[in-house]
Structure 1
Amino acid sequence: MFKRTYGILYEQNSYVFTDLFEELERYYSKGQVDLAEAMDNFFNTLYQKMFTVLNAQYSFDDKYLGCVGEHMKELSPFGDVPHKLSVQLKRSFVATRTFSQALGVASEVVNNMGKIPPSAECVRALTKMTGCPACQGLPDLKACSNYCINVMKGCLSYHTELDTEWNNFVDSMEKVTDRLMGPFNIEMVVEPINIKISEAIMNFQENGPEVSQRVFSGCGKPTLQHHRRRRDTTELKFESLQFSQTSAGFTG
């Protein structure tokens, strides 16, 4: 979508978007990512890139762009999209990853419990319950229910100790599942992420002149480029038109 909408401007800066999605994947697989910081870095970088495109007639060095970045919070060039998207992504990814990890731990617990060998007392009780009738010439005689239950309780004593905690775990997983099926549904957040980012870009395009003037007031007027390609401005206008047409399809 971004390539179709923004063309060469996206291709030249595609790494900004790629880095964001790689950070999201890295969080899900390893968890060693601050999601709020990742989103802040993405929008800050996007903000600086868009600022230079909207003001292509000027030349900006790293120091000036650093000043541009410092004004992002007060200017809110993308509107409230960054905040809303960050909140939605964080709660969905955290809940989904927690649920996935919990399933892994539960599987490990079940496997380990299945490997616990029976105690000597359990073996003797089972042997007595199942073998004594046969020894007495009554192979078809079954143990009474209460006797069988008492023997199994003794054999599963370790499992019984886990019962309360396991039930609490299952209850918690059910609550997380309800959230994941509702407001924390990761598919409902990730699927329209390109539309949300495009909405943020459109907000910046609409407020570009005002944002630029306020940045110039705070950071100083930048120097004009001596040899500016006319194509830059043409591409920007063309891509803005393309975006407007595309966005109309989303909101229609």
Structure 2
Amino acid sequence: ETFEMLIRLAENYTSTLFCNAYGNMAAEAAVHVQEFFTDVGLFLFGADVSTEEFVNRFFDTLFPVVYNHEINPGPTDISLEYAECLRVARRDIRPFGNVPKKALGQMGRALLPSRTFLQALNLGIEVINTTDHLGFSKDCSRALLRMQYCPHCQGLTLSKPCMGYCLNIIRGCLADAAQVDLHWRGYIQALEELSGAMSGAYDMEHVLLNFHSLVNDALVRARINGAELSEQVNKICGPPVRKPKESPGCSFDQNKGNQGLKMFSRDSEETLANRRKEFIRHLRLYRAFYGGLADQLCGNELAAADGLPCWNGEGVV
């Protein structure tokens, strides 16, 4: 949910840029902005999509819109066929300079670690759910029954098992879970290392929330080099072929999603990076969970406290 909110907020930032600074093309651009951030979400949540493909597709589809409204505006819109020619020619003409390459580098570096982090979290959930339903063997069930209720047969209803006796029984019953311990410790260490690496150029929050700045740089560059770009376009696609104008104005609700602004403010303690660090800090407390489960059960609930009479399997000592 936090990742989804971040993506929506980044999309809102980018759509707001078009409404505020490039209102004449905002409605057309909104479709491509939405598609781009949909692809970002699909990639993060494990879909088989390529960052290179969807970053390039965004700038490919944006170029005809920019050409139509900024580089060579006219009383009518360019035709669909002409727009397709511009889309295909974008990578040769390079109207946005090195901005698409820069965006691709940032997205690739920032999104992949976050995608891996999410996949790792899902794996951890699977491990927990699997071990949560471990069944006890018949021998274990009998041993637990003897440990808990045999004293009752002798009228010792208040006596608890001795610590050593309890640990011996519980460790035997949880032998399968204990085998997870080494892997669980390694899993937490890997999450710590991955989380620590997700900063700077690898900070997805920073990259997504500043994507609109890259888009603005691209549009400014295209506007400045408009005359030169028009010449290049004419050589490749010919003079503009136009159709009746259909471009509506900006219809984006700029207040949409602004409730998330505080959560993702760079000055706020509630940044995604801080939330991730807090999660890792709590997870460290459970590093020895599987290896120490028997000690926790006996120490907290099942066994008698030190110095008190206890049941050792044969009698009270």
- Please indicate, yes or no, whether the TM-score normalized by the shorter chain is above 0.5: yes
The yes-or-no answer on 1:195 pairing with 2:222 is no
C-alpha distance in 2 between matches for 1:140 and 1:74? 83
Q: 2:162 aligns with which of 132, 143, 163?
A: 143
Q: Which consecutive residues of structure 1, in runs of 5 or more, have no partner in the other structure?
A: 229-252
C-alpha distance in 2 between matches for 1:61 and 1:144? 82
Tell me the CA shift for residue 48 of structure 1. Answer: 1.9
Residue 35 of structure 1 aligns with an amino acid whose one-letter code is T
Question: What residue in structure 1 maps to residue 147 of structure 2?
Answer: 129
Question: What residue in structure 1 maps to residue 231 of structure 2?
Answer: 213
Instruction: Point out the more displaced range, 96-105 or 159-168.
Output: 96-105
The answer as to whether partners of 1:130 and 1:143 remain within 8 angstroms in 2 is no
Question: What residue in structure 2 maps to residue 43 of structure 1?
Answer: 59
The yes-or-no answer on 1:102 pairing with 2:137 is no
Question: What residue in structure 1 maps to residue 194 of structure 2?
Answer: 176
The yes-or-no answer on 1:55 pairing with 2:55 is no
**TM-score in terms of structure 2 length:** 0.61
Tell me the CA shift for residue 181 of structure 1. Answer: 4.6
Q: 1:59 to 1:101 in 2, by over 3 A?
A: closer
The answer as to whether partners of 1:68 and 1:219 remain within 8 angstroms in 2 is yes
Aligned residue-pair number: 227
Question: What residue in structure 2 maps to residue 75 of structure 1?
Answer: 93
C-alpha distance in 2 between matches for 1:144 and 1:223? 86
Q: 1:76 to 1:169 in 2, by over 3 A?
A: same
Q: 1:128 to 1:96 in 2, by over 3 A?
A: same
The answer as to whether partners of 2:39 and 2:54 remain within 8 angstroms in 1 is yes
The answer as to whether partners of 2:97 and 2:218 remain within 8 angstroms in 1 is yes
Question: What residue in structure 2 maps to residue 115 of structure 1?
Answer: 133
**TM-score in terms of structure 1 length:** 0.75
Q: 1:55 to 1:129 in 2, by over 3 A?
A: same
C-alpha distance in 1 between matches for 2:243 and 2:148? 97
What is the alpha-carbon root mean square deviation over aligned residues? 3.2
Tell me the CA shift for residue 132 of structure 1. Answer: 4.7
The answer as to whether partners of 1:44 and 1:72 remain within 8 angstroms in 2 is yes
Q: 1:114 to 1:14 in 2, by over 3 A?
A: closer
Identify the structure with the greater helix proportion: 1
The answer as to whether partners of 1:59 and 1:223 remain within 8 angstroms in 2 is no
